[in-house]
Amino acid sequence: MRAVEAQNYSAIMQTSTCFLITFLSCCILAAVGSCPKEFANLEESTIAHENIYTYSNVKPPNPTVGLLYPRESNTREVRSLDGIWNLLRSNASDPLQGIREKWYKQNIRATNHEITLMPVPASYNDVTVDQRLRDHVGTVWYERHFFVPSRWRKDRMRVWLRFGSIHYEAIVWINGQTTMRHSFGHLPFEVEISSYVNYGSENRITIMVDNRLNNRTIPQGQVVKQVNDNGFAYIQTYTFDFFNYAGIHRSVHLYTTPPTYISDVELKTQVSRNQIGRIDYRLWLGNAEVLNVKSTHVLVELLDKNGNVAAHQINRDIRNGTLLVPNVKPWWPYLMNPDPGYMYTLEFQLIAEGGTEAEPNNELLDAYRLPVGIRNLSWDKDGLFLNNKPLYLRGFGRHEDSDIRGKGLDNALLTRDFSLLRWVGANAYRTSHYPYSEESMQFADQHGIMIIDECASVNTDLFEPELLLNHMSYLEQLIHRDRNHASVIAWSIANEPRTKKKAAEAYFGALANYTRGIAQGRPLTAASNVDKPSECMMSQFLDIIGFNRYNAWYHNAGRTDMIVQPMYDEAKNWRDRYKKPVILFEYGGDTIEGYHTLPAFIWSEEYQTTLFSKHFRAFDRLRELKWFIGEFVWNFADFKTEQAFTRVGGNKKGVFTRNRQPKDAAHLLRKRYHALALKLDNASLPADLFDYIIDWN
């Protein structure tokens, strides 16, 4: 088992009874807002009702190893377990009934509880017409059966089970035996199940998924018990403004590796001024202790996108190396180069040498391929640079959200979204407010879309040591997952945390110090929403200053004459305070599609376009100062939120509707983004950018 939250596999198996008792206790206590302390001798004082902590006892999480994206090769097989699973909803008042009654020891149909057929991947909330399932707080149980061929045992293959994401916490059983536990939604985890499967026959996988959030989860929330018409109900409360979808959100894979295998790959790239590419790589090997290192080597080949060998080497140092690439084609963002998103394929073959020099008999132990974009990334106090060229980011905050499937992976929707990103002329987006699917990261690489990669810390508050440990662990798993993506240009450590509080200073100081040590050559940023830069206890620790501001919406609603100067002044205040590059991560206003008013009135499509246009004026003044490096609309598309009288069918700030059709503002934004690409990078304008009006000649 190789995810940080699912380490020490053998220890879990040996102490499963003890683990379950501890888990039950923690879950029960978490439901009422309490949890046992994991850290002794914490220094805590109260100043004006605010707890101030020290974090000397918080030890950095163990590094993640493994979790390579499942890819077939001549030594590996990959099978999908996506499809229709069985789902059982636990009683909200007794979420741990299934643990006590050992539902994992039998087919869940034998429990005589109602079973729902549920697609995977998908959020379970909106698939059915059952309100209880949509609003469920607590645990649900998933189950399906799968077949393992006998030849996998005959060929001595290792068998792995991998989840792209489950929200929020999961315990997994194979044939009634505990195999792993993982916390944190939106991140992958896996375990080797070779010793738990029945070869040549059917196997059962059972998963308990718990969607409850508390003060120490990432993100935070609280479960409260409220009186209703039938007695009482458990309500999940949270402060973030998107629906708390739950379930198996991304693909489930069964895959194999050989007995000795490549378990992990780390890449770092550079491009020299004479167009020589450089790839520094590091390999981790599973079961490497059986190798005769003197008679083992790694064959490294780099293939261009036409399948031609661009560079190769034989390396007898089987764990580290450098590959030089003559006449390299660098990775460029969309509209900064005629051939954006250029991706090579890098293949590693682990080979054991045999035979004689005259008659060699080499054995291929393992082969793994992955895409790689080769580029430089750097930053200073004035800007962010890719391949030594200054970047100006134009894009969106987004959500993984759609009708029926919720946050479930949908390749058709993913394709549509990237088609719209290119149509509108965007070159970047922030993964607000959690890591997006691995498939979307691959799309970003291929399309030349730059990513501000954000962890799931939203509205961070209370700043307890246990929270810091989870926050560190979340960022470590995120960075480990995405470190090899050319599209990732920065890590966002939080969105709108409560950084006015004095406790935030030590918390984010410790968090940023840890994250910078594992940042893989990327800057740190975050999105602040304090009223004054001097009030933010976090931004001093960042490399790039980010802020959210809703002028003419949450501030001075309806007053589009109060946008240009306030926006200019605030951005300049952030710069004057911290002397670092500045990005506006969120601006915008809700818009009901088809609602028109003249003159423009709040919530109308005319109001959204006017609000955007006024912001453009401020941005152009700021761009002239060089240190203002990006503008991100909130949001790419409308999305679902919790039920509230302030939200009519969800958040409507999207420039596209929830079913991905443009509002009027999308056409205005398209003109803006493509015009910026022409002005800054001499890109060609689309032929259909402007409609014909008159022959001005």
Give 100-132 pLDDT, tens digit per residue: 999 999 999 999 999 999 999 999 999 999 999
pLDDT score recorded for residue 291: 83
pLDDT score recorded for residue 684: 96
Q: Per-residue pLDDT for 420 more than 90?
A: yes
Q: Which H or E run contains 386?
A: strand 384-386
* Higher per-residue pLDDT: 38 or 601: 601
**Mean pLDDT computed over every residue of the chain:** 92
Give 537-579 pLDDT, tens digit per residue: 999 999 999 999 999 999 999 999 999 999 999 999 999 999 9
Give 77-108 pLDDT, tens digit per residue: 999 999 999 999 999 999 999 999 999 999 99
Q: DSSP secondary-structure letter at 60?
A: P
Q: Per-residue pLDDT for 510 more than 60?
A: yes
Read off the pLDDT band of 492 (50, 70, 90).
very high
pLDDT score recorded for residue 3: 44
The three-class DSSP label of residue 608 is helix
Query: In the chain, what is the greatest distance between 2 CA atoms, to the nearest angstrom?
Result: 86
Catalytic residue (one of 496, 586, 605, 631): 496
The three-class DSSP label of residue 406 is strand
pLDDT score recorded for residue 18: 38
- CA nearest neighbour of 217 among 232, 237, 247, 188: 237
Read off the pLDDT band of 160 (50, 70, 90).
very high
| Mean local confidence (pLDDT), 443-472 | 97
Give 246-298 pLDDT, tens digit per residue: 999 999 999 999 999 999 999 999 999 899 999 999 999 999 888 887 789 99
pLDDT score recorded for residue 428: 98
- How far is residue 382's CA from residue 445's CA, in Å, rounded to a whole number? 26
Our answer to whether residue 496 is catalytic in this structure is yes
CA angle 402, 403, 409 (to 5 degrees): 45
- How far is residue 386's CA from residue 396's CA, in Å, rounded to a whole number? 19
Q: What are phi and psi of 468, to 5 degrees?
A: -60, -45
The percent of residues above 70 in pLDDT, for the chain, comes to 93
Read off the pLDDT band of 444 (50, 70, 90).
very high
The percent of residues above 90 in pLDDT, for the chain, comes to 88
And the tokens for 2? 């190789």
pLDDT score recorded for residue 595: 97
pLDDT score recorded for residue 601: 98
Q: Per-residue pLDDT for 241 more than 60?
A: yes
Read off the pLDDT band of 696 (50, 70, 90).
confident
Q: Cα dist. 7→2, 118, 181, 262 in Å?
A: 6, 29, 9, 18
- Among all chains, which residue has been given the structure tokens 């909130």? 634
Residue type, 315: N
Read off the pLDDT band of 44 (50, 70, 90).
very low
- CA nearest neighbour of 142 among 173, 112, 165: 173
Read off the pLDDT band of 359 (50, 70, 90).
confident
Read off the pLDDT band of 358 (50, 70, 90).
confident
- CA nearest neighbour of 548 among 530, 575, 572, 524: 530
Query: Lowest-confidence range among 35-44, 317-326, 465-474?
Result: 35-44
- How far is residue 362's CA from residue 193's CA, in Å, rounded to a whole number? 29
Q: Per-residue pLDDT for 35 more than 70?
A: no
| Mean local confidence (pLDDT), 287-312 | 92
Read off the pLDDT band of 582 (50, 70, 90).
very high
Q: What is the CA radius of gyration of the chain?
A: 26
| Mean local confidence (pLDDT), 406-427 | 98
And the tokens for 327? 């006449």
Q: What residues pair up with 300 in beta bridges, in sequence order?
A: 313, 348
pLDDT score recorded for residue 49: 59
